[in-house]
Amino acid sequence: MFLGGFECSCHRLADGRRLDLTRGTRHDVQASDDYGRLGPAGITACRDGASWVAVESREGRYDFSSLAPMLRAAEQRRVRVIWDLMHFGWPDHVDVFAVDFAPRFARYASAVGRFVAENSEGPPFFTPINEMSFLAWAGGDVRVMNPFEAARGVELKVQLVRATIEAIDAIRAVVPRARFLQPEPAIHIVRAEQHPKTWRRVESDNLLQYQACDMLSGRVWPALGGGPEYLDIVGVNFYPDNEFMLDGTTIQRDDPRYKPLSSLLLDVWERYRRPMIISETGSEGEARAPWLRHVAGECERALAAGCELHGITLYPIVSHPGWGDDRNCQNGLWDYQRSPGERLAYQPLIDEIAQHEGRLSAARGAVLRRARAAPSAPSPSAR
Protein backbone atom coordinates (compact mmCIF):
# COMPACT_ATOMS: atom_id res chain seq x y z
CA MET A 1 0.00 0.00 0.00
CA PHE A 2 2.97 2.37 0.35
CA LEU A 3 5.02 3.89 -2.45
CA GLY A 4 8.11 6.07 -2.37
CA GLY A 5 8.43 9.31 -4.30
CA PHE A 6 11.83 10.60 -5.40
CA GLU A 7 11.76 14.39 -5.79
CA CYS A 8 12.69 15.12 -9.41
CA SER A 9 11.71 18.77 -9.99
CA CYS A 10 13.77 20.39 -12.74
CA HIS A 11 12.12 23.77 -13.32
CA ARG A 12 13.64 27.23 -13.62
CA LEU A 13 13.65 29.46 -10.55
CA ALA A 14 12.96 33.18 -10.60
CA ASP A 15 16.69 33.95 -10.42
CA GLY A 16 17.31 31.89 -13.57
CA ARG A 17 18.79 28.83 -11.88
CA ARG A 18 17.48 25.44 -12.91
CA LEU A 19 16.71 22.86 -10.25
CA ASP A 20 17.88 19.28 -10.63
CA LEU A 21 16.78 17.51 -7.47
CA THR A 22 17.58 14.06 -8.82
CA ARG A 23 21.19 15.19 -8.81
CA GLY A 24 20.78 17.35 -5.71
CA THR A 25 19.78 14.33 -3.62
CA ARG A 26 22.47 12.16 -5.27
CA HIS A 27 19.74 9.83 -6.43
CA ASP A 28 21.31 9.91 -9.89
CA VAL A 29 24.38 8.05 -8.58
CA GLN A 30 22.68 6.15 -5.73
CA ALA A 31 19.60 4.86 -7.54
CA SER A 32 20.45 1.19 -6.98
CA ASP A 33 21.02 1.68 -3.26
CA ASP A 34 17.95 3.92 -3.01
CA TYR A 35 15.68 1.37 -4.68
CA GLY A 36 17.27 -1.38 -2.58
CA ARG A 37 16.22 0.37 0.63
CA LEU A 38 12.55 0.37 -0.34
CA GLY A 39 11.84 -3.36 0.00
CA PRO A 40 13.00 -3.75 3.63
CA ALA A 41 10.81 -0.75 4.49
CA GLY A 42 7.78 -2.49 2.99
CA ILE A 43 7.75 -0.48 -0.26
CA THR A 44 7.86 -2.10 -3.71
CA ALA A 45 6.86 0.79 -5.99
CA CYS A 46 7.77 4.43 -6.39
CA ARG A 47 7.43 7.59 -8.43
CA ASP A 48 10.58 8.87 -10.10
CA GLY A 49 11.55 11.16 -12.93
CA ALA A 50 12.63 10.78 -16.55
CA SER A 51 13.81 14.36 -16.98
CA TRP A 52 12.77 15.97 -20.27
CA VAL A 53 15.51 18.53 -19.66
CA ALA A 54 18.17 15.79 -19.58
CA VAL A 55 16.74 13.47 -22.23
CA GLU A 56 16.24 16.15 -24.90
CA SER A 57 18.91 18.71 -24.12
CA ARG A 58 19.24 19.24 -27.85
CA GLU A 59 16.10 19.56 -29.91
CA GLY A 60 14.98 16.32 -31.51
CA ARG A 61 17.87 14.25 -30.09
CA TYR A 62 17.07 11.87 -27.24
CA ASP A 63 19.83 10.89 -24.84
CA PHE A 64 18.84 8.23 -22.29
CA SER A 65 22.18 8.14 -20.46
CA SER A 66 20.57 9.73 -17.37
CA LEU A 67 17.57 7.38 -17.39
CA ALA A 68 19.26 4.09 -18.29
CA PRO A 69 21.08 3.45 -14.98
CA MET A 70 17.94 4.28 -12.98
CA LEU A 71 15.84 1.99 -15.13
CA ARG A 72 18.42 -0.78 -14.84
CA ALA A 73 18.59 -0.33 -11.06
CA ALA A 74 14.80 -0.51 -10.74
CA GLU A 75 14.73 -3.76 -12.70
CA GLN A 76 17.53 -5.28 -10.63
CA ARG A 77 15.86 -4.27 -7.38
CA ARG A 78 12.41 -5.33 -8.64
CA VAL A 79 10.84 -1.96 -7.95
CA ARG A 80 7.86 -0.81 -10.02
CA VAL A 81 8.42 2.80 -11.09
CA ILE A 82 5.88 5.37 -12.25
CA TRP A 83 8.02 7.63 -14.46
CA ASP A 84 7.23 11.36 -14.43
CA LEU A 85 7.84 12.70 -17.94
CA MET A 86 7.57 16.38 -16.98
CA HIS A 87 7.90 17.42 -13.36
CA PHE A 88 7.53 21.21 -13.59
CA GLY A 89 10.43 21.69 -16.03
CA TRP A 90 11.07 21.53 -19.79
CA PRO A 91 14.15 22.12 -21.98
CA ASP A 92 15.21 25.70 -22.74
CA HIS A 93 14.53 25.18 -26.44
CA VAL A 94 10.83 24.46 -25.72
CA ASP A 95 8.16 27.18 -25.58
CA VAL A 96 5.34 25.90 -23.40
CA PHE A 97 2.88 28.32 -25.07
CA ALA A 98 3.86 27.48 -28.66
CA VAL A 99 1.53 25.72 -31.09
CA ASP A 100 4.01 22.85 -31.38
CA PHE A 101 4.37 22.27 -27.62
CA ALA A 102 1.95 19.32 -27.47
CA PRO A 103 3.36 17.42 -30.47
CA ARG A 104 6.93 18.00 -29.29
CA PHE A 105 6.10 16.66 -25.86
CA ALA A 106 4.34 13.70 -27.48
CA ARG A 107 7.43 12.83 -29.56
CA TYR A 108 9.59 12.91 -26.44
CA ALA A 109 7.01 10.83 -24.51
CA SER A 110 6.92 8.25 -27.30
CA ALA A 111 10.71 7.94 -27.25
CA VAL A 112 10.76 7.47 -23.47
CA GLY A 113 7.86 5.03 -23.61
CA ARG A 114 9.63 2.86 -26.16
CA PHE A 115 12.92 2.97 -24.23
CA VAL A 116 11.29 2.03 -20.92
CA ALA A 117 9.27 -0.78 -22.50
CA GLU A 118 12.35 -2.23 -24.21
CA ASN A 119 14.36 -2.20 -21.00
CA SER A 120 11.88 -3.35 -18.38
CA GLU A 121 9.37 -6.08 -17.67
CA GLY A 122 5.68 -5.66 -17.10
CA PRO A 123 3.44 -2.81 -18.23
CA PRO A 124 5.21 0.56 -17.86
CA PHE A 125 3.62 3.32 -15.78
CA PHE A 126 3.92 7.03 -16.59
CA THR A 127 2.87 10.39 -15.25
CA PRO A 128 2.81 12.61 -18.34
CA ILE A 129 2.75 15.97 -16.51
CA ASN A 130 2.83 16.42 -12.75
CA GLU A 131 0.16 18.66 -11.18
CA MET A 132 -1.18 20.47 -14.24
CA SER A 133 -3.49 22.61 -12.11
CA PHE A 134 -0.73 23.77 -9.77
CA LEU A 135 1.71 24.48 -12.59
CA ALA A 136 -0.95 26.44 -14.49
CA TRP A 137 -1.68 28.57 -11.43
CA ALA A 138 1.88 28.98 -10.17
CA GLY A 139 3.47 29.56 -13.56
CA GLY A 140 0.58 31.04 -15.53
CA ASP A 141 -1.23 33.24 -13.01
CA VAL A 142 0.96 34.31 -10.09
CA ARG A 143 4.54 34.20 -11.50
CA VAL A 144 6.02 31.98 -8.76
CA MET A 145 7.19 29.25 -11.16
CA ASN A 146 8.26 28.98 -14.76
CA PRO A 147 7.11 30.33 -17.20
CA PHE A 148 6.52 33.27 -14.75
CA GLU A 149 3.41 34.64 -16.44
CA ALA A 150 0.27 36.31 -15.10
CA ALA A 151 -3.35 35.96 -16.27
CA ARG A 152 -2.40 33.04 -18.56
CA GLY A 153 -3.25 30.17 -16.26
CA VAL A 154 -6.15 28.79 -18.29
CA GLU A 155 -4.11 29.06 -21.48
CA LEU A 156 -1.27 27.15 -19.85
CA LYS A 157 -3.60 24.50 -18.46
CA VAL A 158 -5.06 23.94 -21.93
CA GLN A 159 -1.55 23.48 -23.31
CA LEU A 160 -0.71 20.96 -20.60
CA VAL A 161 -3.92 19.00 -21.10
CA ARG A 162 -3.45 18.87 -24.87
CA ALA A 163 0.15 17.74 -24.37
CA THR A 164 -0.99 15.01 -21.97
CA ILE A 165 -3.60 13.73 -24.44
CA GLU A 166 -1.09 13.62 -27.29
CA ALA A 167 1.55 12.00 -25.08
CA ILE A 168 -0.84 9.24 -24.00
CA ASP A 169 -1.78 8.56 -27.62
CA ALA A 170 1.88 8.52 -28.64
CA ILE A 171 2.91 6.11 -25.88
CA ARG A 172 -0.05 3.80 -26.44
CA ALA A 173 0.90 3.62 -30.13
CA VAL A 174 4.23 2.01 -29.18
CA VAL A 175 3.31 0.46 -25.79
CA PRO A 176 -0.42 -0.40 -25.80
CA ARG A 177 -0.35 -1.82 -22.26
CA ALA A 178 1.09 1.34 -20.66
CA ARG A 179 -0.73 2.81 -17.65
CA PHE A 180 -1.00 6.49 -16.74
CA LEU A 181 -1.20 8.37 -13.44
CA GLN A 182 -2.61 11.91 -13.27
CA PRO A 183 -1.57 13.57 -9.99
CA GLU A 184 -3.49 16.68 -8.96
CA PRO A 185 -3.67 18.53 -5.62
CA ALA A 186 -6.74 17.96 -3.47
CA ILE A 187 -7.57 21.24 -1.74
CA HIS A 188 -10.27 22.72 0.44
CA ILE A 189 -10.71 26.49 0.50
CA VAL A 190 -12.72 27.59 3.51
CA ARG A 191 -15.09 30.50 3.12
CA ALA A 192 -15.03 33.44 5.50
CA GLU A 193 -18.47 33.62 7.10
CA GLN A 194 -18.11 37.36 7.69
CA HIS A 195 -17.50 38.01 3.97
CA PRO A 196 -20.48 36.52 2.06
CA LYS A 197 -19.49 38.35 -1.12
CA THR A 198 -16.52 35.98 -1.43
CA TRP A 199 -18.52 32.76 -1.08
CA ARG A 200 -19.11 32.27 -4.81
CA ARG A 201 -15.42 32.87 -5.46
CA VAL A 202 -14.57 30.20 -2.89
CA GLU A 203 -17.00 27.76 -4.50
CA SER A 204 -15.50 28.41 -7.92
CA ASP A 205 -11.91 28.03 -6.74
CA ASN A 206 -12.73 24.76 -5.00
CA LEU A 207 -14.24 23.42 -8.22
CA LEU A 208 -11.21 24.51 -10.25
CA GLN A 209 -9.18 21.74 -8.62
CA TYR A 210 -11.05 19.31 -10.89
CA GLN A 211 -10.73 21.29 -14.12
CA ALA A 212 -7.61 19.61 -15.52
CA CYS A 213 -8.99 16.09 -15.05
CA ASP A 214 -12.40 17.23 -16.30
CA MET A 215 -10.71 18.53 -19.47
CA LEU A 216 -8.68 15.35 -19.81
CA SER A 217 -11.70 13.09 -19.43
CA GLY A 218 -13.87 15.17 -21.78
CA ARG A 219 -16.34 16.30 -19.13
CA VAL A 220 -15.64 19.93 -20.08
CA TRP A 221 -14.09 21.66 -23.08
CA PRO A 222 -14.55 18.66 -25.43
CA ALA A 223 -12.83 20.55 -28.26
CA LEU A 224 -9.53 19.68 -26.55
CA GLY A 225 -10.08 16.05 -27.53
CA GLY A 226 -10.39 14.59 -24.04
CA GLY A 227 -12.29 11.43 -23.25
CA PRO A 228 -12.71 8.83 -20.49
CA GLU A 229 -9.87 6.76 -21.95
CA TYR A 230 -7.35 9.44 -20.99
CA LEU A 231 -8.12 9.29 -17.27
CA ASP A 232 -6.59 6.02 -16.12
CA ILE A 233 -5.31 6.28 -12.53
CA VAL A 234 -6.19 9.38 -10.51
CA GLY A 235 -3.53 10.73 -8.17
CA VAL A 236 -4.35 12.91 -5.18
CA ASN A 237 -1.58 15.09 -3.72
CA PHE A 238 -2.28 16.21 -0.16
CA TYR A 239 -0.09 18.10 2.31
CA PRO A 240 -0.66 19.83 5.68
CA ASP A 241 -1.23 23.19 3.96
CA ASN A 242 -3.79 22.02 1.37
CA GLU A 243 -6.71 23.50 3.32
CA PHE A 244 -6.73 27.28 3.54
CA MET A 245 -8.69 30.51 3.14
CA LEU A 246 -8.67 32.90 0.19
CA ASP A 247 -6.03 35.03 1.89
CA GLY A 248 -3.74 32.00 2.16
CA THR A 249 -4.24 31.33 5.88
CA THR A 250 -3.75 27.60 6.50
CA ILE A 251 -6.59 25.74 8.19
CA GLN A 252 -5.20 23.36 10.81
CA ARG A 253 -6.54 19.88 11.54
CA ASP A 254 -7.99 20.89 14.89
CA ASP A 255 -10.11 23.60 13.25
CA PRO A 256 -13.80 22.55 13.00
CA ARG A 257 -13.80 23.88 9.42
CA TYR A 258 -11.14 21.37 8.40
CA LYS A 259 -12.54 18.86 5.90
CA PRO A 260 -11.42 15.28 6.52
CA LEU A 261 -9.11 13.86 3.88
CA SER A 262 -11.43 10.87 3.60
CA SER A 263 -14.18 13.23 2.42
CA LEU A 264 -11.88 14.83 -0.15
CA LEU A 265 -10.92 11.37 -1.45
CA LEU A 266 -14.55 10.30 -1.69
CA ASP A 267 -15.38 13.51 -3.59
CA VAL A 268 -12.76 12.59 -6.19
CA TRP A 269 -13.89 8.96 -6.26
CA GLU A 270 -17.53 9.85 -6.82
CA ARG A 271 -16.61 12.31 -9.56
CA TYR A 272 -14.43 10.00 -11.67
CA ARG A 273 -14.85 6.41 -10.43
CA ARG A 274 -11.29 5.57 -11.43
CA PRO A 275 -8.58 3.71 -9.49
CA MET A 276 -6.82 6.14 -7.17
CA ILE A 277 -3.65 6.57 -5.16
CA ILE A 278 -2.38 9.25 -2.83
CA SER A 279 0.32 10.35 -5.27
CA GLU A 280 2.08 12.70 -2.83
CA THR A 281 1.90 13.30 0.89
CA GLY A 282 4.31 14.13 3.66
CA SER A 283 5.38 16.59 6.30
CA GLU A 284 8.64 17.85 7.78
CA GLY A 285 10.67 17.24 10.90
CA GLU A 286 9.00 15.50 13.82
CA ALA A 287 5.58 15.95 12.19
CA ARG A 288 6.39 13.26 9.60
CA ALA A 289 5.15 10.21 11.51
CA PRO A 290 2.02 11.85 13.03
CA TRP A 291 1.08 13.19 9.60
CA LEU A 292 1.38 9.76 7.97
CA ARG A 293 -0.66 8.29 10.83
CA HIS A 294 -3.40 10.83 10.10
CA VAL A 295 -3.31 10.22 6.33
CA ALA A 296 -3.34 6.43 6.72
CA GLY A 297 -6.31 6.59 9.06
CA GLU A 298 -8.25 8.80 6.65
CA CYS A 299 -7.41 6.49 3.76
CA GLU A 300 -8.73 3.54 5.75
CA ARG A 301 -11.98 5.44 6.28
CA ALA A 302 -12.24 6.23 2.55
CA LEU A 303 -11.65 2.58 1.70
CA ALA A 304 -14.33 1.50 4.14
CA ALA A 305 -16.73 3.84 2.30
CA GLY A 306 -15.94 2.19 -1.05
CA CYS A 307 -13.15 4.35 -2.49
CA GLU A 308 -10.88 2.26 -4.74
CA LEU A 309 -7.60 3.50 -3.29
CA HIS A 310 -4.47 1.51 -4.13
CA GLY A 311 -1.64 3.24 -2.32
CA ILE A 312 -0.06 6.12 -0.41
CA THR A 313 3.07 7.76 -1.79
CA LEU A 314 5.52 9.19 0.73
CA TYR A 315 6.79 12.29 -1.02
CA PRO A 316 9.63 12.77 -0.94
CA ILE A 317 11.09 9.47 0.19
CA VAL A 318 14.55 11.09 0.39
CA SER A 319 14.94 14.51 2.03
CA HIS A 320 16.04 17.16 -0.45
CA PRO A 321 17.61 20.62 -0.69
CA GLY A 322 15.06 23.44 -0.51
CA TRP A 323 13.99 24.81 -3.88
CA GLY A 324 15.03 28.38 -3.22
CA ASP A 325 17.50 28.24 -0.32
CA ASP A 326 19.17 24.81 -0.53
CA ARG A 327 18.31 24.13 3.12
CA ASN A 328 18.14 20.50 4.19
CA CYS A 329 14.40 19.80 4.16
CA GLN A 330 13.96 17.00 6.69
CA ASN A 331 10.88 15.54 5.05
CA GLY A 332 11.93 12.11 3.80
CA LEU A 333 12.21 8.58 5.05
CA TRP A 334 15.96 8.87 4.42
CA ASP A 335 18.33 11.83 4.53
CA TYR A 336 20.41 12.97 1.56
CA GLN A 337 23.44 14.59 3.20
CA ARG A 338 25.59 11.49 3.51
CA SER A 339 28.57 9.94 1.75
CA PRO A 340 27.86 7.88 -1.40
CA GLY A 341 25.81 4.80 -0.62
CA GLU A 342 24.81 5.94 2.86
CA ARG A 343 21.60 7.56 4.08
CA LEU A 344 20.27 7.97 7.59
CA ALA A 345 16.79 6.49 8.07
CA TYR A 346 14.06 8.23 10.03
CA GLN A 347 12.87 5.29 12.14
CA PRO A 348 9.52 6.73 13.36
CA LEU A 349 8.34 6.87 9.75
CA ILE A 350 9.46 3.30 9.07
CA ASP A 351 7.57 2.19 12.17
CA GLU A 352 4.47 4.05 11.04
CA ILE A 353 4.49 2.30 7.65
CA ALA A 354 4.67 -1.09 9.33
CA GLN A 355 1.81 -0.13 11.64
CA HIS A 356 -0.64 0.61 8.82
CA GLU A 357 0.36 -1.67 5.94
CA GLY A 358 -1.72 -4.68 6.99
CA ARG A 359 -4.92 -2.80 7.78
CA LEU A 360 -4.79 -0.75 4.57
CA SER A 361 -4.11 -3.81 2.43
CA ALA A 362 -7.02 -5.64 4.03
CA ALA A 363 -9.31 -2.66 3.48
CA ARG A 364 -8.29 -2.42 -0.17
CA GLY A 365 -8.90 -6.13 -0.63
CA ALA A 366 -12.39 -5.75 0.78
CA VAL A 367 -13.18 -2.94 -1.67
CA LEU A 368 -12.03 -5.02 -4.64
CA ARG A 369 -13.94 -8.10 -3.48
CA ARG A 370 -17.14 -6.09 -3.12
CA ALA A 371 -16.64 -4.64 -6.61
CA ARG A 372 -16.13 -8.08 -8.16
CA ALA A 373 -19.21 -9.40 -6.38
CA ALA A 374 -21.40 -6.68 -7.88
CA PRO A 375 -21.63 -7.39 -11.64
CA SER A 376 -24.12 -4.57 -12.13
CA ALA A 377 -21.52 -2.07 -10.89
CA PRO A 378 -18.07 -3.36 -11.88
CA SER A 379 -14.91 -1.79 -10.56
CA PRO A 380 -13.77 1.01 -12.88
CA SER A 381 -10.30 -0.54 -13.00
CA ALA A 382 -11.81 -3.64 -14.60
CA ARG A 383 -13.39 -1.73 -17.48
* pLDDT interval class at 375 (50, 70, 90): low
Kindly calculate the radius of gyration of the chain based on its CA atoms and give it in whole angstroms. Answer: 20
Over residues 16-20, mean pLDDT: 95
Check pLDDT > 60 for residue 382.
no
Task: State how beta strands 320-321 and 179-185 pair.
Answer: unpaired
DSSP 223-264: GG---GGG--EEEEE--TTSEEETT-PBPPTTSTTPPPHHHH
* pLDDT interval class at 248 (50, 70, 90): very high
Check pLDDT > 50 for residue 379.
no
Over residues 105-114, mean pLDDT: 98
Over residues 148-156, mean pLDDT: 98
This prediction has a pTM of 0.95
pLDDT tens digit sequence for 173-202? 999 999 999 999 999 999 999 999 999 999
Q: 222-231, 266-275, 319-328 — which is least confidently predicted?
A: 319-328
DSSP state of 64: -
Residues 6+ apart with CB under 8 A from 15: none
Provide the domain limits for residue 93.
Answer: 2-382
* pLDDT interval class at 325 (50, 70, 90): confident
Contact indicator for 48, 81 with CB cutoff of 8 Å: yes
Residue 336: what pLDDT? 81
Residue 88: what pLDDT? 98
Number of compact structural domains in the chain: 1
Check pLDDT > 70 for residue 383.
no
Element (H, E) at 302: helix 288-304
Residue 23: CATH number of its domain:
3.20.20.80
Check pLDDT > 50 for residue 259.
yes
